[in-house]
């Protein structure tokens, strides 16, 4: 009877060991879960936001094999921003874990009365195999984390500059003429008194 129990236990153990050996290894290993990440960008205008904006912002990877938004062209992703607000370069699908670095820059257009932010940012995208992803942004060559924000300043509109200049020039000339007339009148009166 004891022998039969030992044989039964040995058979069960052998069956368990055999089933474990035949199972695919990936059942025990953690599978890589894809991650979708977005790089947010904020555009702020101090002043009249109707005359600012209209520039192109570009996302460019350091590594040509880095994941990019689906509609990227020529290894870059460009978006045009015309109004103040929050934007994104689009979803970046990472099908494997990794760390990728990107440069964010702005193609500036000249606009009268607008001082434009020409900062260059660096972004580090981190995709983990557990389905989580992170974006870290740095300003220029700094190691300090920063938000991806561009801020433009619009000078206040004071009206028609050319007409204002003519008015002020005319007033200055009239004041000078009045000063000369008064000085001449006083000089004439002093001569009469002497």
Residue 28: the pLDDT is 38
| Assigned architecture for domain 35-154 | Sandwich (2.60)
The pTM assigned to this predicted structure is: 0.65
Radius of gyration of the chain (CA): 36
The pLDDT tens digits for 101-156 are 999 999 998 888 899 999 999 999 999 988 899 999 999 888 889 999 999 999 88
**Every domain of the chain and the residues it spans:** 35-154
Half-sphere exposure of 83 (CA within 13 A, CB side): 2
In the block, tokens 């996302």 appear at: 59
**Do β-strands 85-94 and 35-46 pair in parallel, antiparallel, or remain unpaired?**
antiparallel
Residue 19: the pLDDT is 58
Is the pLDDT score of 16 beyond 70?
A: no
Residue 1 in 3-state DSSP? coil
- CA distance linking residue 152 with residue 156, whole number of Å: 13
| Chain-centroid distance, C-alpha 188 | 72
- Check: CB of residue 92 under 8 Å from CB of residue 125: yes
């Amino acid at each position: 009877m004891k022998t039969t129990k030992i044989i039964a236990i040995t058979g069960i153990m052998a069956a368990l060991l055999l089933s474990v050996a035949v199972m695919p290894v990936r059942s025990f290993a953690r599978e890589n879960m894809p991650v979708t990440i977005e790089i947010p960008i904020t555009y702020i205008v101090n002043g009249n936001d109707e005359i600012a904006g209209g520039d192109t912002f570009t996302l460019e990877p350091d590594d040509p094999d880095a994941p990019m938004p689906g509609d990227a062209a020529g290894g870059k992703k460009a978006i045009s921003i015309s109004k103040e607000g929050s934007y994104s370069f689009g979803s970046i699908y990472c099908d494997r874990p990794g760390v990728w670095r990107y440069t964010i820059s702005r193609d500036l257009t000249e606009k009268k009365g607008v001082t434009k932010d020409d900062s260059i940012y660096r972004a580090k995208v981190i995709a983990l195999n557990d389905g989580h992803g992170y974006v870290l942004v740095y300003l220029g060559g700094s190691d300090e984390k920063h938000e991806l924000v561009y801020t433009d300043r619009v000078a206040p509109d004071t009206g028609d500059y050319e007409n204002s200049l003519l008015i002020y020039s005319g007033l200055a000339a009239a004041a000078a003429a009045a000063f000369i007339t008064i000085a001449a009148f006083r000089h004439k009166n002093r001569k009469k008194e002497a």
